[in-house]
Amino acid sequence: MSGRVIPLGTDIHSRVQALLPWYVRGSLDIEERARIEAHLGECALCQAELAWERRLHVADDAAAPSEDVERDLALLRERLVGAAVPARQGERAARLPRGWRQGPAWLRWALVAQCAVIATLMLGLFADAPSPEQRYRALGRHAVVPVAGGGNLVVRFRPETTEQQMRQTLRDSDARLVYGPTTTDAYVLSVPAERVKDAIGRLRAQRTVLLVESLDGAGAP
Amino acid sequence: MLRTPRVAAATVDARCASVASADAHLVHRTAGGDLHAFEQLYRAYHPRLTRFLERLTRRPGLVGELLNDTMLVVWNRAGTYNGRCQVSTWIFAIAYRKAMKALQRWDEPVGDAAADEDRAPPDAEPEQQLAQSQLRALLSGALEGLSAEQRAVVALTYLHGVGYREIAEIVGCPVDTVKTRMFYARRRLKALLGDQLGDWL
């Protein structure tokens, strides 16, 4: 059926009967209800239609869906790994090159220097980087994530987060950097097992943190 | 304490407004990359979208994938939600478009009676389970006789209590087209179900 409009009958019965499904479910406005009730009060034909509509309403309520929320959500989490961040951030990223070109030269050099410092620090931190089979693979809690050094959290920072802010965030959360960045700019952190939930709460409260997930299911939302 | 209908309606309206506001807040947080907010939204909409997509597509095996396709769009495009319509309208419109595209691609007939039979509440009496199962089979067969567009209007109206103006926004057609689809869907259902509906109630 296309979007074309086939005119309903011009008689009052057709117009009332067309609205009965919404009348029975209480989704008409007051004026429409009043018009229908005025007609129903004097029309046996439309009263019979209303009775049938009520029977259909009861029958349809009996049909409950089969559903498994957590199973479906786990499947979607797998698809979210590596997916683009929501549009607003994507748009911000797309604007970056223009801002980069238009910004003052000293700022560009400062950013380059900062990136170099971060890279140097990362190299130092990950001198004992895990073997390929030990790499972080997925955000899903069911995923197998054998990470060296006992990593138990995965975190993504906002793109604009500075190295100094990252360090401060880790200190505040009592977390230690174990591995990262992954291909999706995620970092694997290690926190004492008894403080995982607390650390997740602290990290989620940080403005610099885009997302944080437990790798063993603890503290999951 | 008894409440007048007007007070009760105002309470319901306030509750709906509160839910709508909470949903909009979750979408806003999702736009900022908040996975926790997105998962809250997912859990809130999963049952409703499941029912809608099952009714619309008549393909239980396709529902989970379509639902996740829908929510993936919500995740990726949360920043484009402008608040001009309710979050539910926005999300159902995405689901509707996904389902209609899928139906164009998948053209084989599907009738999953086994899946239908599994849906009776576990604590229901055996006789009640049998009656519900037969009733669902009856209704399911009748809905098969409707077009996908008609089923969408029927599902949104009967399962979700959505008004015809909002349905017009969701399916992207004029209000009169929604009324027309419902009018002919009802007529078709009545012809297919006849008096059998009353026998089960």
Average of per-residue pLDDT across B8-23: 60
pLDDT band with cut points at 50, 70 and 90 for residue B27: very high
User: Tokens standing for A109?
Assistant: 């050099």
CB-CB under 8 Å, A221 with B39: yes
C-alpha distance from residue A142 to each of A138, B107, B133, B175 (Å):
9, 34, 35, 46
Q: What is the pLDDT of residue A165?
A: 81
- B199–A contact, CB cutoff 8 A: no
pLDDT band with cut points at 50, 70 and 90 for residue B161: confident
Q: Among B50, B58, B150, which residue's Cα sits nearest to residue B92?
A: B50
Q: Residue A154: in which H helix or E strand, if any? A: strand A153-157
Considering only CB atoms, B174 lies closest to which of A5, A27, A65, namely A5
CB A156 within 8 A of CB A211: yes
Q: Looking at residue B142, what DSSP letter applies?
A: H
Does residue B88 carry a pLDDT above 80?
Answer: yes
- A113–B contact, CB cutoff 8 A: no
DSSP for B47-64, please give it.
Answer: HHHHHHHHHHH--HHHHH
Q: What is the pLDDT of residue B18?
A: 60
- A160–B contact, CB cutoff 8 A: no
Catalogue the long-range contacts made by A26-33 (C-beta closer than 8 Å, 24 or more residues apart). Answer: A26/B161, A27/B157, A27/B161, A27/B162, A27/B163, A27/B164, A28/B163
Q: What is the pLDDT of residue B125?
A: 52
pLDDT in tens, chain A (221 residues): 444 444 555 688 888 888 999 998 888 989 999 999 999 999 999 999 998 888 877 666 545 555 688 888 888 888 886 555 555 544 444 444 545 555 556 666 777 778 787 887 777 666 555 554 444 444 444 433 444 456 788 888 877 787 878 888 888 888 888 877 776 677 888 888 888 888 888 888 887 888 888 877 554 44
Q: Which of residues 56-115 of B touch A (CB under 8 A)?
A: 60, 64, 67-68, 71-72, 75-80, 115
Q: What is the pLDDT of residue A142?
A: 40
| Dist. CA A131–CA A147, nearest whole Å | 9
A167 Cβ neighbours under 8 A, 6+ residues apart: none
Global model pTM greater than 0.90: no
- ipTM for the predicted complex: 0.71
Q: What is the pLDDT of residue B90?
A: 95
A188 Cβ neighbours under 8 A, 6+ residues apart: A136, A145, A147, A151, A153, A154, A177, A178, A179, A180, A182, A215
Catalogue the long-range contacts made by A201-207 (C-beta closer than 8 Å, 24 or more residues apart). Answer: A202/A172, A202/A173, A202/A174, A203/A153, A203/A155, A203/A169, A203/A173, A203/A175, A204/B36, A206/A169, A206/A172, A206/A173, A207/A158
Q: What is the pLDDT of residue B68?
A: 94
Q: What is the pLDDT of residue A146?
A: 41
φ, ψ of residue A213 to 5 degrees: the values are -135, 145
Q: What is the pLDDT of residue B114?
A: 34
Number of neighbours of residue A10 by Cβ within 10 angstroms:
7
Residue A177's beta-bridge partner residues? A189
Determine the residue among B26, B50, B63 to mutate to test chain A binding: the one whose Cβ has the most chain A Cβ atoms within 10 Å. B50
Contacts of A67 in chain B (CB under 8 A): 46-47, 50
Contacts of B43 in chain A (CB under 8 A): 69, 73
Q: What is the pLDDT of residue A134?
A: 47
Contacts of B54 in chain A (CB under 8 A): 65-66
Contacts of B45 in chain A (CB under 8 A): none
What's the distance, Cα to Cα, between the start and end of chain B in Å? 33
Q: What is the pLDDT of residue A127?
A: 59
Q: Using DSSP, how many helices (H) and how many strands (E) does chain A show? A: 8, 4
- B183–A contact, CB cutoff 8 A: yes
- A63–B contact, CB cutoff 8 A: yes
- A73–B contact, CB cutoff 8 A: yes
Contacts of A5 in chain B (CB under 8 A): 174, 176-177, 180
CB-CB under 8 Å, A72 with B67: yes
Q: What is the pLDDT of residue B49?
A: 93
CB-CB under 8 Å, B54 with A213: no
3-state class (DSSP) for residue A212:
strand
Q: What is the pLDDT of residue B128?
A: 59
Does residue B2 carry a pLDDT above 80?
Answer: no
CB-CB under 8 Å, B119 with A87: no
Q: Which residue has the higher pLDDT, B65 or A144?
A: B65
For residue range B102-125, list pLDDT tens digits in order: 988 776 444 333 333 334 444 445
Quickly tell me which residue has 């957590």 as its tokens: A70
